[in-house]
Amino acid sequence: METKRQEKIARMLQKELGEIFVLYAKKIHGVIISVTNVKISPDLSICHINLSVFPSEKAQSIIEQVKKDTKSIRYDLGRRVKDMRIIPELNFHHDNSIDYLENIDKLLKSDPPSPLSEEEIG
């Protein structure tokens, strides 16, 4: 369970990282990167960030590129966040929840309607 302090810092980092990734995505045309979740360790030294990438076909290559650019992203974050003495180590992960929801939506649309009428069900 996260403490209030962890939650506040995670929200602040999510906001700042979201702004950083808006600028980062402008360099890579045709891609939208959003920060979906941020979790920080109790000692505030390690931060796990879930990123959602659209279009999802480019997600793996974008996440690999983000992992290569972690040092510069951490530097940018340090310049934006003055409240923290030590900027946490950043670990990026792909958040595929949107792909999962799209798959469920596709399955629901492809499901044929039930042969039972409304009166027979209720």
Q: What is the pLDDT of residues 55-95, one digit of tens each?
A: 888 889 999 999 999 999 999 999 999 888 999 999 999 98
Domain boundaries, the chain: 4-111
Mean pLDDT calculated for residue range 20-46: 93
Distance in angstroms (rounded) separating the CA atoms of residues 118 and 49: 46
- Based on its alpha-carbon atoms, the radius of gyration of the chain, rounded to whole angstroms, reads 19
Distance in angstroms (rounded) separating the CA atoms of residues 21 and 48: 15
Residue pair 36/18 in contact (Cβ under 8 Å)? The answer is: no
**pLDDT on residue 1:** 75
pLDDT interval class at 110 (50, 70, 90): confident
User: Which tokens go with 90?
Assistant: 């950043």
Single pTM value for the model: 0.79
Q: What is the DSSP string of 57-107?
A: GGHHHHHHHHHHTHHHHHHHHHHH--S-SSPPEEEEEE--HHHHHHHHHHH
Residue pair 59/53 in contact (Cβ under 8 Å)? The answer is: yes
Distance in angstroms (rounded) separating the CA atoms of residues 67 and 19: 17
Q: Is the CATH number of domain 4-111 3.30.70.1400?
A: no
